[in-house]
């Protein structure tokens, strides 16, 4: 090994170390931003190092070099503009688009690089198959999240039979390519099957399962990138892809457990009603509260826990929620946010929204931290959350049975800001709303929180 090769390997090792450190720092809101920068810096150095290697080895001609430069600059500018302009409420669909880009790029690598060894041909097949499913599936998921594709499950007639047939055809192409040194056209056949399968895979999955689906597609993207690394014999790609794939797989399992649903059941689809507001069929009376009464309860509380849900994200009310929490804190009230793992449309959606509104990191509590505190809480303020607070989950025989929930009904008082008594994704009534300790404040999340803040100033002790 030459001195140049040794330095390159050491640089790649340092980049891989940055990936690991950055991923670890993303484990906590307080260090997530720094972790993202560390990982990005590592990837930037890896890209520059690869460019130096290509130039040193004379592996690219002038035309190809210009294509790489233009493509890299165009991608960087597009990513920068998209990341800066996107609203925090639209972050899930942007993440899905990034998943699509990653999976598609990985598949194109295998399609464009003629594999020579048995190891490379096998990984090329896996790369094209996984990358193709990820690309089309992520585009459909992004469309569902953005409202361009209906959020409810769309069952394609004979969809499972078609998917099985596509899998069989793709397997035949794979055997032809790997076992009999088939033409590169075999890979294009696998890609076509994978693209159709990705659409059929994602369409039947409803909005309730979107957080898990995004995490699963992220794991697919990482796996496809790792396979592309084997095709190109690129250590940084293998390491980065393996890290993303493993992290995504672990997160997918954790998210599925948080919904008390198996990954197989989620992939089977058919769960979740989309964004349509259902009319509650409950015959039980509910107690309605005025803004003034709710503000008085908050003003004289010793401890308040705010529970954000998708309704807060849809109304873009994170800044109003943080402003209310800050006002309560200034008046001596202890405030925290109880965040369910599947609240919102992607893993960590609520954390991202609240952090963007400058909520103190130490106030963001997960389900395990929050549940023991509810019995010592004076007022729980629920903003747009539904199924994750439904006590029916503690009983068998309904769609949310067994799902870990936030034990908000153990607090002394509960105030729910909601536009109506509409159902959540599970399509059932929330038994919390008829609890004698629960009061309903019917309002849009943004307007309701703003009104509470105004009332708090008026009735502050």
d(CA 169, CA 166): 5
Query: Within a 10 A sphere around the Cβ of 117, how many other Cβ atoms?
Result: 11
Q: Is 308 helix (H, G, I), strand (E, B) or coil?
A: strand
Across 370-422, the runs of DSSP E, i.e. the strands, are: 379-383, 413-418
List the one residue out of 372, 382, 378, 396 whose CA is nearest residue 433.
382
Q: Report whether 405 contacts 374 (CB < 8 A).
A: no
Annotated active-site residue in 127, 209, 387, 409:
387
Assigned token pair, 137: 């599936």
List the one residue out of 436, 404, 435, 440 whose CA is nearest residue 422.
440
Gyration radius from the chain CA atoms = 25
Residue tagged 């929180």 (tokens): 449
First to last CA, the chain: 75
387 labelled catalytic:
yes
d(CA 110, CA 118): 14
Mind telling me the catalytic residues?
Answer: 387
């Amino acid at each position: 090994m030459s001195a140049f090769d040794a330095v390159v390997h050491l640089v790649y090792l340092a980049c891989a170390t940055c990936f690991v450190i950055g991923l670890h720092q993303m484990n906590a809101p307080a260090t997530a931003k720094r972790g993202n920068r560390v990982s990005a810096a590592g990837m930037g150095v890896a890209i520059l190092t690869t460019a130096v290697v290509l130039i040193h080895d004379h592996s690219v001609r002038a035309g190809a070099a210009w294509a790489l430069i233009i493509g890299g600059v165009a991608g960087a500018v597009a990513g920068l503009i998209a990341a800066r302009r996107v609203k925090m409420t639209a972050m899930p669909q942007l993440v899905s688009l990034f998943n699509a880009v990653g999976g598609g790029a990985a598949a194109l690598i295998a399609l464009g690089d003629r594999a020579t060894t048995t190891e490379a041909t096998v990984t090329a097949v896996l790369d094209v198959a996984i990358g193709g499913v990820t690309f089309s599936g992520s585009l459909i998921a992004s469309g569902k999240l953005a409202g361009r594709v209906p959020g409810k499950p769309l069952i394609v007639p004979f969809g499972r039979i078609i998917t099985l047939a596509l899998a069989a055809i793709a397997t035949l192409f794979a055997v032809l390519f790997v076992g009999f040194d088939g033409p590169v056209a075999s890979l294009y056949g696998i890609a076509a099957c994978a693209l159709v399968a990705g659409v059929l895979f994602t369409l039947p999955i409803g909005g309730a399962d979107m957080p898990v689906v995004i995490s699963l597609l992220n794991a697919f993207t990482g796996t496809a990138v790792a396979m592309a690394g084997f095709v190109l014999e690129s250590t940084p790609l293998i390491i980065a892809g393996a890290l993303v794939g493993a992290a995504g797989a672990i997160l997918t399992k954790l998210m599925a457990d948080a919904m008390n649903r198996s990954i197989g059941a989620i992939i089977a689809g058919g769960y979740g009603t989309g964004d349509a507001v259902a009319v509650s069929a409950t015959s039980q009376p509910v107690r309605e509260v005025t803004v003034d009464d709710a503000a008085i309860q908050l003003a004289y509380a010793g401890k308040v826990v705010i529970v954000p849900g998708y309704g807060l994200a849809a109304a873009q009310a994170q800044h109003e929620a943080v402003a209310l929490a800050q006002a309560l804190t200034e008046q001596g009230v202890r405030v925290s946010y109880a965040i369910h793992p599947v609240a919102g449309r992607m893993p960590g959606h609520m954390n991202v929204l609240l952090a963007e509104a400058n909520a103190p990191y130490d106030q963001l509590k997960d389900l395990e931290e929050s549940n023991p505190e509810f019995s010592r809480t004076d007022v729980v303020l629920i903003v747009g959350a539904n199924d994750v607070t439904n006590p029916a989950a503690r009983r068998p025989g309904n769609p949310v049975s067994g799902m870990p929930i936030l034990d908000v009904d153990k607090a002394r008082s509960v105030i729910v800001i909601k536009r109506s008594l509409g159902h959540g994704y599970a399509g059932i009534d929330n038994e919390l709303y008829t609890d004698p300790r629960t009061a309903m404040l019917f309002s849009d999340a943004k307007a309701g929180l703003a009104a509470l803040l105004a009332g708090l100033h008026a009735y502050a002790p």
